[in-house]
Structure 1
Amino acid sequence: MNKIKVLTISVIALVILNLTMIVFFMIIKPKEFRDRRNGPRKMIIEKLHFDTKQQAEFEILVENNIDKVKTFDKQIQQTKENLYTQLSQTNVDVKTKDSLINVLADLQKQIETARFNHFKKIRKICNTPEQKEDFKELTIELSKMFSHRKFPPENSNSKK
């Protein structure tokens, strides 16, 4: 094979790979992310066998909860920024640092309270004894879902 044939085959192969990647990232990946985001909603609706009316009520509850938690998340972000800017000062004001950490703790407490109340409201949507029993089973999964760590645990062999 001469150099021109090798280069031609290489260029064609690269074009095919690039087109494949474009199709993958434009069509397949966004669908995967949509499913992941709506996964808990879909799971709850399916597990509790909500009818159309219950699904509408549930969607309203979810949107209200999302708005509430987003508000807390914004406050947490701003408070963390204020906290960590304290590090740029030569002498960190201990009272300010402690106050900001207490604010963060209170905001996290409010998020957990909002989530807990949100699921109490979901339980009220359940009409049938079967749905109420399914909700009890769902609480086990919810506890695992909301207790997961966002970061992998540190390697126990690492130096401290």
Structure 2
Amino acid sequence: MKKNILLTVLLVFLMVMNAVLLFLILDKPDEKRRPPRKFITAELGFSEAQQIEFAEIDREHHRAMRRLDRHSRDLKELLFSKLDDTSFHQNELDSITGLIGQLSEDREREVFSYFRKVSKICNEKQKLKLERMLFGALKHGPRPEGPPPPHR
């Protein structure tokens, strides 16, 4: 009898802990999915007006990136659906992989365009902070203080 009570208590405890874990994971999906938005606005100290402009830039960027990702995923699914297709030729492979490569290039252009638009709404101090953040992210660490590197 005592064994059953102990198992029941343990089972209830584990169920409660699982529910808490699920709540913590699912409670704030926007923050989990897209933390850079809040990080950028907080780090740069955007004013209310800047936050409104940034939100629109961010929405447009998110839509563009989702479209590019969806198209890339569709092409990759098409490509891998041809694994056992004996009539699938090298020129078709080259065509699909070329399109996937173009989408990757478009993605990089979109990211660059996004940060260029963000930079345009920044004041000079915020632009320096943004540049440090970007270089830090590219180098996986913070940039040293001082002027930005020369543009080539």
- Tell me whether the two structures share a fold, i.e. TM-score over 0.5: yes
Runs of 4+ in 1 over 4 A off after TM superposition: none
Please point out which of 39, 50, 56 is paired with 1:54: 50
Distance (whole Å) between structure 2 residues aligned to residue 97 and residue 139 of structure 1: 35
Which residue pairs with 1:87 in the alignment? 83
Distance (whole Å) between structure 1 residues aligned to residue 42 and residue 62 of structure 2: 20
Structure 1 residue 39: Cα displacement: 1.7
Say if 1:79 and 1:100, in contact at 8 Å, map to a contact too. yes
Which ranges in structure 2 are unaligned for 5 or more consecutive residues?
141-152
**1:143 aligns to 2:138 (yes or no):** yes
Distance (whole Å) between structure 2 residues aligned to residue 144 and residue 78 of structure 1: 32
TM-score (norm 2): 0.83
**1:15 aligns to 2:6 (yes or no):** no
Which ranges in structure 1 are unaligned for 5 or more consecutive residues?
146-160
Please point out which of 71, 80, 101 is paired with 2:97: 101
Which residue pairs with 1:30 in the alignment? 26
Structure 1 residue 137: Cα displacement: 0.8
Distance (whole Å) between structure 1 residues aligned to residue 35 and residue 3 of structure 2: 47
Which residue pairs with 1:67 in the alignment? 63
Structure 1 residue 91: Cα displacement: 4.1
Asked which structure has the greater RCO (Cα within 8 Å, sep 6+), the reply is 1
Which residue pairs with 1:131 in the alignment? 126
What is the aligned-residue RMSD (CA, Å)? 1.8
TM-score (norm 1): 0.79
What is the number of residues matched between the two proteins? Answer: 140
The amino acid across from 1:94 in the alignment is Q
